[in-house]
Amino acid sequence: MINITSMNHMRAATVLRADALKKRQLDAATMTAFPQATTERAPMKLTVRTAVAGAVLASTAVLGAPGTASADDPKDGGVVRCPEGKVCLFDGHNLTGDVLQLDPVDVPNVGWAWNDRASSVWNRSNRHACIWTDANYYGYWFTIPPGAKQELLFAYDNAVTALGFGGCGG
């Protein structure tokens, strides 16, 4: 006498056999079309000890790796992103964030994309740079000597609109 549980087990076994047959047919077709492909997978056993050892090793490698300065790293002062001979405006403090590199020529208006955006400046030119808060050299002005890095605070933070190199204010 066959009960319902036995019938369900037989159906499940039949389905499993059919799935295995389809997989073998698919594997054979794959190997024919792509002879370099492999469908067999090596069994992977991962013990808790192996997982913990791997995690410890990975964290040690990260913590022990020597640091490299990025363009946004204040330690290197953004050297990568502000080449010598340029005046660079940064939209973040401490020479971080997006950068606008300018040649040391008068700029009566930095344009809508950078108007009132700069928070720090690096003058890598050999000329004194003057920044103004308004277009066409109006408003408040501030002088940045050659080679100087300057945080723009208070009235000048996010307020630069013009740059000049022939002398500041009057």
- For residue 127, is it within any domain? yes
Same domain, 25 and 89: no
- For residue 56, is it within any domain? no
- For residue 73, is it within any domain? no
Q: Residue type at 17? A: R
- For residue 40, is it within any domain? no
Q: Is residue 133 pLDDT above 80, yes or no?
A: yes
Structural domain containing residue 85: 78-164
Confidence of residue 64 (pLDDT cuts 50, 70, 90): very low
Average pLDDT over residues 56-64: 43
- For residue 26, is it within any domain? yes
Same domain, 83 and 160: yes
- For residue 123, is it within any domain? yes
Confidence (pTM): 0.55
**Nearest alpha-carbon partner for 98 in 127, 71, 134:** 71
Same domain, 96 and 30: no
Q: Is residue 146 pLDDT above 90, yes or no?
A: yes
Give me the DSSP letters along 27-48.
HHHHHHH-TT-----------H
Considering its fold, how many domains does the chain have in total? 2
- For residue 122, is it within any domain? yes
162-to-55, 56, 71, 112, 145 alpha-carbon distances in Å: 53, 53, 25, 12, 16
Same domain, 20 and 95: no
Question: Cα separation of 66 and 88, whole Å?
Answer: 28
Q: State residue 118 phi and psi, 5-degree precision.
A: -70, 140
List CB contacts of 136: < 8 A, sequence separation 6 or more.
108, 109, 162
Confidence of residue 164 (pLDDT cuts 50, 70, 90): very high
- For residue 102, is it within any domain? yes
For residue 93, the number of C-alpha atoms closer than 13 Å in the C-beta half-sphere is 6
What 34-42 contacts at long range (C-beta under 8 Å, 24+ apart), as own/partner pairs, is none
